[in-house]
Each structure stands twice: as structure tokens, then as C-alpha cells.
Structure 1
Amino acid sequence: MAKKALCIGINDYPGTGMDLQGCVNDAQDWARELQQRGFGVTTLLDAQATKAAMAQAMGSLIEQGQGGDVLVITYSGHGTYVPDTDGDEVDGLDEALCPHDIRTEGALLDDEIHELFLRRQPKVKLVLVADSCHSGTVTRAAADPDADPRATRPRFMPIGNWMDAAALPRALPAVQGSSPLAKLMLRRSGDLLLAGCQEGPNHFSYDAHIAGRFNGAFTYYALKALRGLGADATYAQWHKAITPAMLPSVSYPQSPQLVGDAAARRSRIFA
């Protein structure tokens, strides 16, 4: 059984006014933890995490997996929505992850992620950790030059911050769907998603400043909870140790989610 991981962290979003501060630290923290647990780890940080590089790295990780292997993908960065063009979304929106070059290459759509996951061999275990959110509006979010750099910031990027004005819809429909990663987890038994917040409008994962350092609030507390668990702990026990014991909090009002079937939730962490 092989154990392999891909850890993606993006703070730098050129031309959007939506830079973050804790995502690279998140990716490095996940990579360090997974290496200590026997994983071979690849990282994509900031400018390395282009749309093409993210798709290639995800595809390569998944294609190389053999039955019984454990694959982990962690993503820390912005999430976004775009209008659905192929009619497969109930709410008329495609959910997406935001690569470093989103201004020039666009978002990595849930449809594209789904196509990558179709390359997987039977009995490959896949765990996704998403410290981002997929809730917001079309309206551009302006940077606040007077804001305290330690202030929290939702990890959602309105499409007005990266899409050309001529291409913008006048408005987005009400959000009813799930994040791209949540929908993929529900399609296959044995897979799991650990997400930093609930689905739908007004739920966010936050960029945070904790213990003198920038992190995603979810990543910080998820790793803290994990390190306090025994070797035989399950994903369900891990989730219970995070919420409500650590999140949501007054500073970070987010409720982490564990998505997957009952058997997967009862399985040992990263085993």
C-alpha cells in the first residue's frame, strides 16, 4: 500500500485584490504532518499552483494510485462560483477552486475536477481536505488598505475580482449546490472530504492569525485535534474533536464538515 499526498496553498492572486496570508502555511503544515505519517508529498505553492499545474498534479496523483493506496489532496485558497454552461447544476452555478493564474486562465471547475477523478483505479482511497469556501456574490470585493493585516478574511473570491467585466453576469442565482469536492465525495463510497465550513450561502472558511502566525482557522484546529488523537482514531472521531470543541468560535464562526459514507467515516485516519 502506497501513501501519497498533494498539498496546495495559494496566498498570491495577482490582479484580484484578494490575496490571502495563511494558505502557504497551511499547505506546508499539512505536508509536514503527512510526511511524518509515511506519505510521499508533493506541494504546489503560490505561483507553482497554476490551473494547468493543479490539474496535472491531481491527475498524476490519481492515475498512479493502485488498489489499496491512500491518496490525500489538501487545498487552501479561495473558492468561487461561475455560471453553469452545460446544464448539470440545479442552481445554475459551477463551483470552482481558484488557481494562482485565475485572472488569465480561469477557475478550476467542479466538472474538470470530476473528469480527473474518473481516472482512478478501483479500491483507491481518496481523502480531500478543503480549507476554502464556495459562498458569495458576483460583486467585486475591494481590498481595505486600512485593515489590520491580522484580520480574518473569508476564503471566497467573487467572480468580479477575476473575470473580465464584459463577461460578468448581472447576478448569480441563489446558491443551492455543494462545493465541487463535496459532490465528488458523495458519488463514490469509501471517499472522504474534510471541509472547513458548511455548504451554501453565508458560510465561510477564514484566513486567520492564531498564536502569532497566519493559517486557515480550520487547518490550525484540524491539525491540533489530529495530534491529540490515538493511532487507531477514526475520521468520525477526528471530526468530533474539531467541532464543536474548537470550531465554530466567536472569532471564526465556521462549522467544519465531514462528507462520506458511514463506513468511510468509521475508518482509521490516513490508513
Structure 2
Amino acid sequence: MSKRALCMGINNYPGTHMDLHGCVNDANDWAAELAGRGFAVSKLIDSQATKAAMVSAIQSLIGSAVSGDVVVITYSGHGTYVPDTNGDEIDGLDEALCPYDLQTGGGALVDDEINTLFSARKAGVRLLLISDSCHSGTVTRAAAADPDADNAPAPRFMPMGNWLPAEKLPQGISGQPLTTVPVISGVSPFVGALSRMMGDLLLAGCKEGPNNFSYDASIAGRPCGAFTYYALKALRRLPANATYAQWHAAITPGSLPSASYPQTPQIYGSQDARNRQIFS
């Protein structure tokens, strides 16, 4: 059995006015933790994490894994939506991850694309996804961060209006871009790529749906994701034989949600997968 991991963290989103602060630290923290637990780790940080590079890295990671291998993918960055083009979404929106070059040519990494990447894996590969981002918000453009509020928690959500041209935004009957769109699902794009039959698991930083966010935080003066910080803190206190369900229970409600970070981390996967020993 081999253990491989890919850790992605993106703070810088050129052209969007929506930079983050803690995502690179998250990726480095996950990478260090996983390396210490026997994983061969690769990272994509900021400008390395273009859409093409993310696709290539996931393909390589998935393609090289064989039955019995454990594969971990962590993502810290913005989540977003794109208008659905194949009619498989009730609300007309596809969930997506935001690469570094989201606004400068690469575009979003959509849930349908992630599903295709993951479906190529061999039977018996155990896949854990850790997503410190959110997929809940509006179409409208978000204002740039207040320069006097560096320590205020910021949602890791990228409104479509901050990166899609007006002609590609959802339109109303008048033909004008809509300012709001009802969001029905609002889940991580990793959710659609999960295979319960193959024992996949997702640890996500917040609930699905409107008004649920994963926060870019500052804890003890250091930028990070609130979920990543408390997930790693809980992990380090668990016994060696702890299960994923026990890990999740150690994060919430003990640490999150909190007054500063009102988010409730989620675990997705079969009961058998939840009861599996962590990283096994």
C-alpha cells in the first residue's frame, strides 16, 4: 500500500479583487502533516495552481494509484458557481473550484470535470478529499476587502460577477444579467465526484446551501482556514487507531462552529468509510 497526497492552496486570484490570506498556509500545513504520516506529497501553491496544472496533478495522482493505495487531496481556496450547460443541475448552476487563473484565462474547475477525473481511478483506491472552501453566495460582484479589516474573517466564496464576463452570467427575461440566483445545492464540487461504492470520503469546512461559509481566518496572528486549523488540531490529539467519524466528532461541535467562525464542518461518505481508521 502506498500513500500519496496533493495539497492545493490559493491566496492570489489576479483580476478578481478577492484575494485570500490563509490558503497557502493551509496547503503547507496539510502537506507537512501528511508527510509526517508517511505520504508522498506534492503541492500546488498560488501561481502553480492553474486550472491546467490542477487537472494534470489530479490525473497523475489518480492514475498512479492502485488497489489498496490511499490518496488524499486537500483544497484551500475559493469556491464558485458557473451556469450549468448540460442540464444536470436543478438550480442551473454547477459548483466549481477556483484555480489561480480563474479570471485570466483558465476558468473554473467544474464539478462535472472533477467527476470525470475521479471516475478514472482503479477499484480499491481509497480517496479522501478535504475541502476548506465554500459554495454558497450570490451572482453579484463582491466588494474588495476593507484594508482596515485585515483580521476580519472572510468567506472563501467567489461570486460569479467577480470573474465571469457579463455576457456569461445568468440572464433574466429582460436579457440583463441577474443580480441574484436562488441556490439549491451549494455543495462542494467534490461531493458529486464521491463514490460511496468505492469508499470515498469528503471532509468539508461548512454545511451546504445558502448562507453557509468556510472562513479565511487569523488565529494566534497567523492566517489560516478556520476549518483547517481546528481539523489539524483535533487530528493531532486523536489516538493512532481513531476513525474518520471520531475525527469529525472531535472538530464539531467542540471547536466549530464558534462565535468568530460560525461554520459547521461536514463529513460525506458511507458509514463503513466513516468508521475506517484515518489514512488507512
Instruction: String of CA shifts for 1:142-201, please: whole Å, max 9, x gaps.
Output: 113443211110000001111112322223542222321122225544110000000000
Matched residues, percent identical? 65
In the TM superposition, residue 267 of structure 1 has moved relative to its aligned partner by 0.2
Which position in structure 2 is the counterpart of 1:99? Answer: 99
1: CA distance, partners of 2:142 / 2:255: 29
Instruction: Say how many residue pairs are matched.
Output: 271
SS in 1 for 2:33: helix
1: CA distance, partners of 2:64 / 2:42: 14
2: CA distance, partners of 1:161 / 1:147: 21
2: CA distance, partners of 1:265 / 1:144: 38
SS in 2 for 1:133: coil
User: Any conservation in 2 of the 1:189–1:261 contact (CA below 8 Å)?
Assistant: no
Which position in structure 1 is the counterpart of 2:149? Answer: 148
Match of 1:175 among 183, 194, 197: 183
2: CA distance, partners of 1:213 / 1:150: 10
SS in 1 for 2:247: helix
User: Any conservation in 1 of the 2:115–2:192 contact (CA below 8 Å)?
Assistant: no
1: CA distance, partners of 2:146 / 2:90: 38
Are 1:249 and 2:250 matched, yes or no?
no
Moved more, 1-10 or 146-155: 146-155
SS in 2 for 1:180: coil
2: CA distance, partners of 1:133 / 1:188: 25
1: CA distance, partners of 2:133 / 2:259: 19
Question: What letter matches 2:52 in structure 1?
Answer: A
Are 1:208 and 2:217 matched, yes or no?
yes
Which position in structure 2 is the counterpart of 1:10? Answer: 10
Q: Which runs of 5+ in 1 are unaligned?
A: none
Question: What letter matches 1:219 in structure 2?
Answer: T
1: CA distance, partners of 2:181 / 2:15: 26
Are 1:270 and 2:279 matched, yes or no?
yes
The 5 A counterparts of 1:1-271 are: 1-103=1-103, 104-169=105-170, 170-171=177-178, 173-177=181-185, 178-185=187-194, 187-271=196-280
2: CA distance, partners of 1:150 / 1:265: 35
Change (3 A) 1:136 1:257: same
SS in 1 for 2:232: helix
User: Any conservation in 1 of the 2:138–2:181 contact (CA below 8 Å)?
Assistant: no
Instruction: String of CA shifts for 1:83-132, please: whole Å, max 9, x gaps.
Output: 10100112211000000000122100001001101110000000000000
In the TM superposition, residue 259 of structure 1 has moved relative to its aligned partner by 0.3
Question: What letter matches 1:83 in structure 2?
Answer: P
SS in 1 for 2:272: helix
SS in 2 for 1:35: helix
User: Any conservation in 2 of the 1:8–1:44 contact (CA below 8 Å)?
Assistant: yes
User: Any conservation in 2 of the 1:186–1:259 contact (CA below 8 Å)?
Assistant: no
Which position in structure 1 is the counterpart of 2:173? Answer: none
TM-score, scaled relative to structure 1: 0.98
2: CA distance, partners of 1:146 / 1:47: 23
1: CA distance, partners of 2:181 / 2:138: 9
SS in 1 for 2:7: strand
User: Any conservation in 1 of the 2:3–2:69 contact (CA below 8 Å)?
Assistant: yes
SS in 2 for 1:54: helix
User: Any conservation in 2 of the 1:206–1:252 contact (CA below 8 Å)?
Assistant: yes
2: CA distance, partners of 1:186 / 1:251: 34
